[in-house]
Amino acid sequence: MQTTHTYDVLISEVGPRDGLQSVARTMATADKFAWIDALVAAGLQEIEVGSFVSPKLLPQMADTADVVRHARGHAGVTIMALVPNLRGAQAAMQAGVHKITMPISASRAHSLANVRKTPEEMVDEVRQIAALRDDIAPGVHIEAGISTAFGCTLQGLVPEDEVIALAVACVEAGVDECGLSDTTGMANPAQVRRLFTRLIAQLGDRAGAAHMHNTRGLGLANCLAAHEAGTRTFDASLAGLGGCPYAPGASGNVVTEDLVFMFEAMGIRTGVDLARLIAAREPLALGLPGEPLYGMTPLAGLPKGFAPQHYR
């Protein structure tokens, strides 16, 4: 989990997991390798390469262990995978991930639909996974992402006090960091600033990533609001692939290319080479021919005179 560049914000690329599990087709393993290689070449230093779930539920993720082993060949990159339960966590640790992320939904309805457990039962699962990590893979970093933190398509409003209380419970159960996810694309900048301010006040340096969706066109604005509140890690997906299969209508992760451009244009270092990042769309398109690819920056190009921050 070493870093190769200096950055002010960490861009965590989630496309190989969140993006690929949200499309109907399954990308060939060799094409996943090529795409991940291109993402690394662009300077991304944390990549969520897949999820350890039942292949009956998500056949797109059946080769995740192989993808982890390939990705680990890149020095200086944190290789991450999503796990919903203890069995998945054990498989992820055995495959050699550096970091696991767990979706812990603040919405009871979404939690039951997504992982078939209540939020309280998921906190118990966190406790068991943390104990397993301490036993068999003490170097593995555990992240919890509080899903539906800003609203739920199934439940509706999610009380902010419950979101913060759940995040605190996850840290007390053993996670190393806990972030907030706009799983359903319902967040607005004022809400994001308020919740991340509260999260950081409660958790300090254990407050984790902002995972925003662009469902209603507010993804970048919400990331900026989280940054203003003090967040320094942001999930994004190349070409905006992604969503949530258990949150109807929640399409569209924040586009990595647009997020990197926004920060770099503001003088905030990401450590990512924009030209190479845009070039990483090619292996994605080859692996999923015909799949819609999104992003304003690749379409418009970089402005004349644009000077990205120095990559060091």
Enclosing domain of residue 255: 10-300
Distance (Å) of CA 103 to CA 112, 125, 145, 281: 12, 11, 5, 27
Q: Are 133 and 89 in contact (CB under 8 A)?
A: yes
Question: Directed axis angle between helix 64-71 and helix 86-95, to 10°?
Answer: 40
Torsion sign, CA atoms 11, 16, 19, 21: negative
Instruction: Tell me the per-residue pLDDT of 166-184, one tens digit each, with 9 for 90 and over.
Output: 999 999 999 999 999 999 8
**Joined tokens for residue 223:** 């990331």
Q: State mean pLDDT over 150-163.
A: 95
pTM of the model: 0.94
Q: What is the pLDDT of residues 219-235, one digit of tens each?
A: 999 999 999 999 999 99
Q: How many domains does the chain have?
A: 1
Contacts of 200 (CB under 8 A, 6+ apart): 207, 229, 230, 231
**Domain CATH for 228:** 3.20.20.70
Q: What are residue 19's phi and psi, to 5 degrees?
A: -70, -50
* Tally of CA atoms within 13 A in the half-sphere of 232 that contains its CB: 12
Q: What is the mean pLDDT of residues 8-28?
A: 95
pLDDT at residue 162 in the model: 97
Q: Specify if 110 maps to a domain.
A: yes
The pLDDT, as a whole number, for residue 244 is: 52
Asked, for residue 312, whether it belongs to a domain, the answer is no
More confident residue, 170 or 3: 170
Return d(Cα 73, Cα 77) in angstroms, integer: 9
Does residue 4 lie within any of the structural domains?
no
79-111 confidence digits (pLDDT tens)? 999 999 999 999 999 999 999 999 999 999 999
At residue 3, the pLDDT reads 46
Could you report the per-residue pLDDT of 242-257, keeping only the tens digit for each? 755 444 544 689 999 9
User: pLDDT band for position 124 (50/70/90)?
Assistant: very high
Domain assignment present for 311: no
Cα separations in angstroms, 312 against 1, 5, 20, 144: 17, 5, 31, 30
On the question of pLDDT at 37 being above 50, the answer is yes
Specify if 3 maps to a domain: no
Q: Which of 147-151, 205-209, 288-292, 306-310 has the lowest average pLDDT?
A: 306-310
Average pLDDT for 177-205: 97
% of the chain at pLDDT higher than 90: 87
In a domain, 55, yes or no: yes
Catalytic site positions: 244
Residue 6, pLDDT score: 80
Asked whether residue 17 is assigned to any structural domain, the reply reads yes
**Residue 191 resides in a domain:** yes
